[in-house]
Amino acid sequence: MRRRRGALAAVLAALAVLLGGGPAVAAPDPARPTVDLAAPTPTAPLPGGPPQGSGPGGVTVGGEGLDTRGTVVVDGAPPVPDGVVAAGWLVADAGTGDVLAARDPHGRYYPASTLKTLTLLTLAHRLDPALVVEGTAEDEQMEGSRVGMVTGGRYPVSLLFQALVLQSGNDAANALARAFGGTQATVQAMNATALEMGAFDTVAGTPSGLDVAGQSSSPYDLALFFRALAADPLTAGILATPTAEMPGVEGRSTGFQIQNQNPLAGYPGVLGGKTGFTDAARHTFVAAAERGGRRLVVSVMATENVPLRAADQAALLLDWGFGVPPSLGGVGTLVASAADVTPATPSAVPSPAGPADVAAGPPAPSSPASGGPPVLGAVALGAAAVAVVAATLIGRRRAMRPGRRRTRPAPGAPPPGRRGPPAAGPGGSPSTRR
């Protein structure tokens, strides 16, 4: 309802401008939230929880059923297992795109190393796998988890992709970004990829996922990324690689083997998984599995190691999801691309801004128009705009289907549909940043 009022208000404001003889141009889209590399590195989850993301004009990507900070479950499905305590999660049928259940699906959480799924998705078909990248001192000094690159070592891109996924190597992420033209170019490409896919909750600030003020992703977007990785033979092969060999460097190190650290490597039908942890993100995880020709994808964000690890919660959701009949459909859908996302209004309505802790960019500069139409023409255009939006809003209200989902708020969360913060996860054990 808030977005409908906002849309109508935007059109009325534009009408007022037209009647006043002002420029006959629609208000420009505000800039997307962005990172602030000059801000202090976040060291804890956002106070009060993360903001809720949305698509163009404030639309809920994947359907209005996913506009919730609580838990939503497809109608007719059994209850979600009690052990799933993460602040945000989602489980979906990767084939049909049906979202079977979710909690705070569009919460813009810190992603930690699950953001490397977007790094891989962005670079896998843009870098020559045979290209050799030389290790640098910067690679050696990367914060958090490293695969063990050394200065002067020579590493093929294909091996660096494996190191990125198998061992969550931040040094490998740094080297891959350098091969692509640098961190800035890589982050720009990652954000462009996210937008093309309809992942509007994601704002990449690093190729590794190390915390940066304003960086974010969501359970919904992580599911989009991993669904795409599992469907692409090249990246699916990387996800499923059990081991790889790092070359020795004379005088510095001997060769050694790296192993796939996916904690669900033994799960029946698993297609791959990616862990993440930082002080601000806490534990995150995304994975996919297939049984009987049916493929599911699951994402878990902002949780602790107790009472269950993120991966164990994901396993519970996969088990549950495989037991949900496909005939029940979903509470929403994973979009195939941004082309599937229809803006809420023809003119831009500002998307919900994050709290002060999340850096946001300034509004995009607008170019002045060269004069407006005559007053009578402006009135006609304005009246038509109001009529179109009013008809759209009425149509959207009629199109909403009741009874297709069951919503219950997460512990401590505001009622579904409100854009307040989600409940915080329980305490847990520390772990290495990755």
Domain ranges of the chain: 112-338
Residue list for the binding site for substrate: 274
Distance CA 28, CA 33 (A): 15
Closest CA to 52 of 358, 305, 404: 358
CB 166 within 8 A of CB 189: no
pLDDT tens-place string over residues 176-190: 999 999 999 999 999
3-state secondary structure of 155: strand
- Domain range 112-338, its CATH number among 3.30.70.890, 1.20.1250.20, 3.40.50.300, 3.40.710.10: 3.40.710.10
* Spatial CA neighbour of 219 closest among 314, 311, 319, 104: 104
Q: What is residue 251's predicted lDDT score, i.e. its pLDDT?
A: 87
pLDDT of residue 31: 57
Q: Please say whether the dihedral angle defined by the alpha carbons of residues 361, 41, 52 and 218, taken in this order, is positive or negative.
A: positive
Residue range 210-238, pLDDT digits in tens: 999 999 999 999 999 999 999 999 999 99
Q: At what angle do helices 2-19 and 375-399 cross, to 10 degrees?
A: 170
Residues of the chain with pLDDT under 50: 1-29, 347-406, 408-431
DSSP annotation of 104:
S
List the catalytic residues: 113, 116, 168
pLDDT at 425: 39
Can you give the pTM of this predicted structure? 0.77
Residue-level pLDDT at 262: 98
Q: What is the pLDDT of residue 376?
A: 31
Torsion of CA 44, 50, 55, 61, to 10 degrees: 100
Q: How distant, in Å, are the alpha carbons of 120, 127, 169, 354 from that of 155?
A: 16, 13, 13, 40
Q: Which helix (H) or strand (E) holds 17?
A: helix 2-19
